[in-house]
Amino acid sequence: MRSGVFIPGKVILAGEHAVVYGKPALAASLRLGVVVVAGEGNSSRENELVRKAITVAGGSEEIGVRIESELPVGAGLGSSAAVAAAIIQAVREYVGKPIGQDELFELTMKCERLAHGNPSGIDPATVVYGGLIVYTKGQPFERLAIKRPLKVLLVNTGKPQESTKEMVELVAKNPDKERLVEEIGELTKKIRQELIEGQEIGEFLDQNGRLLEELQVVGERARGLSRELRGMGAKVKITGAGGRGKGSGMMIALSPDLAKIKRWLDNKQITYLETKIGKV
Ligand code: MEV
């Protein structure tokens, strides 16, 4: 076994789900991520995603991988894309054919199609290229340089019962989809502008959160948590595909008084991560 390949997780600030329909989305890589080491082994014993990633990288069955992840699975932090990208890069390095970022993006997309059905590509793009990006399906992405890094809490609303694929399918059937996708797209453009100008994005982010609730990708538990956090002055929105039946993954919370929010979460024994966006 050799030294590992690190690939970060991601957080979507605005535009998830609408991005599947050609609207822009805003996402950032995290400092948390996965490390993969490739070496001699037996990939036939691995799960489907791992085998697929080894295969698309051109690796044989005699290759094995060791995966260490700091990302909660199914939390909306890009775990599946990060694991796939790290495996592909690690296998390619192991077989002596290092891979460039564009090819890594394409091959990670292939793995995402297995997990997702109809992925927009935002997860692979964010974890492979890193930084803060505006992503529109099928277009070159835009890298944003922002004046002030944004301090956020990622509050754990619980593991979703549904897969990303299932959530994307539920949205496809929503009768209000067209209007909501349009409105989310407009908000994403406003958030992009506010970030560039160094303005507060809380209000628009919160509106995006409410539209995701209307889109029915936020379950009762996360909606209850949103009400509580909003009552304490925070601006909130779930990040990633969401979840309807049980948890909805991670929820972004912005507040001028994050210490107060953290004390409340600690009291309720609700877990969270604290991170800065716009600072790689
Ligand atoms: C998942 O992180 C983001 C979604 O918009 C799906 C996708 O864009 O592929 C829900």
Q: Tens of pLDDT along 210-257?
A: 999 999 999 999 999 999 999 999 999 999 999 999 999 999 999 999
Contact 55, 44 (CB under 8 A): no
Is the predicted pLDDT of residue 198 greater than 80, yes or no?
yes
Average pLDDT over residues 180-198: 96
Q: Residue 277 Cα, ligand 1 centroid: separation in angstroms? A: 19
Q: How far apart are CA 152 and CA 194, in angstroms?
A: 16
Spatial distance between the Cα atoms of 35 and 241, rounded to a whole number of angstroms: 24
pLDDT the model gives residue 279: 63
Closest ligand 1 atom to Cα of 123: 2
Is the model's pLDDT at 1 over the cut of 60?
A: no
Per-residue pLDDT of 86-103, as tens digits, reads 999 999 999 999 999 999
The residues that bridge with 65 in the sheet, in sequence order, are: 38
- The mean per-residue pLDDT over the stretch 20-24 comes to 97
Atom of ligand 1 nearest to the CA of 119: 9
123 catalytic residue (yes or no): yes
For residue 104, give the nearest of 92, 113, 116, 114 by alpha carbon. 92
Distance 62 CA to ligand 1 centre (A): 33
3 confidence band (pLDDT: 50, 70, 90): low
Burial environment of residue 182 by CB neighbours within 10 A (0 to 12, 13 to 18, 19 or more)? middle
**pLDDT per residue as tens digits for the range 133-154:** 999 999 999 999 888 889 999 9
Choosing from 12, 19, 238 the residue with most ligand 1 atoms within 8 A of its CB, the one to mutate for a pocket test is 19
Average pLDDT, the chain: 94
26 CB within 6 A, ligand 1: no
Q: Which of 123, 206, 257, 266 is catalytic?
A: 123
Query: Has this prediction a pTM greater than 0.85?
Result: yes
* Side chain identity, residue 135: Y
Does ligand 1 have an atom closer than 6 angstroms to the CB of 202? no
Q: What integer is the mean pLDDT of 172-198?
A: 96
pLDDT in tens, 24-53: 999 999 999 999 999 998 877 789 999 999
Ligand 1 centroid to 160 CA: how many Å? Answer: 14
The percentage of the chain sitting over the pLDDT mark of 90, rounded to a whole number, equals 87
**CB-CB contact of 218 with 40 (8 Å):** no
Stated length of the chain: 280
What pLDDT score was predicted for residue 43? 77
**Tokens representing residue 235 in the block:** 């601006």
Predicted confidence at residue 57, as pLDDT, reads 96
> Which residues have C-beta within 8 Å of that of residue 214, sequence separation ≥ 6?
176, 180
The mean per-residue pLDDT over the stretch 9-18 comes to 98
Tell me, using a 6 A CB cutoff, whether residue 240 lines ligand 1.
yes
Q: Give residue-wise pLDDT tens across range 50-79.
A: 999 999 999 998 999 999 999 988 888 999
* pLDDT exceeds cutoff 70 at 280: no
Taking the C-alpha atoms of residue 235 and residue 256, their distance in angstroms, rounded to an integer, is 10
Task: Give residues with Cβ within 8 angstroms of 155, minimum separation 6.
Answer: 225, 229, 236, 250, 251, 252, 253, 265, 270, 271, 272
Any bridge partners for residue 194, and if so which?
Answer: none
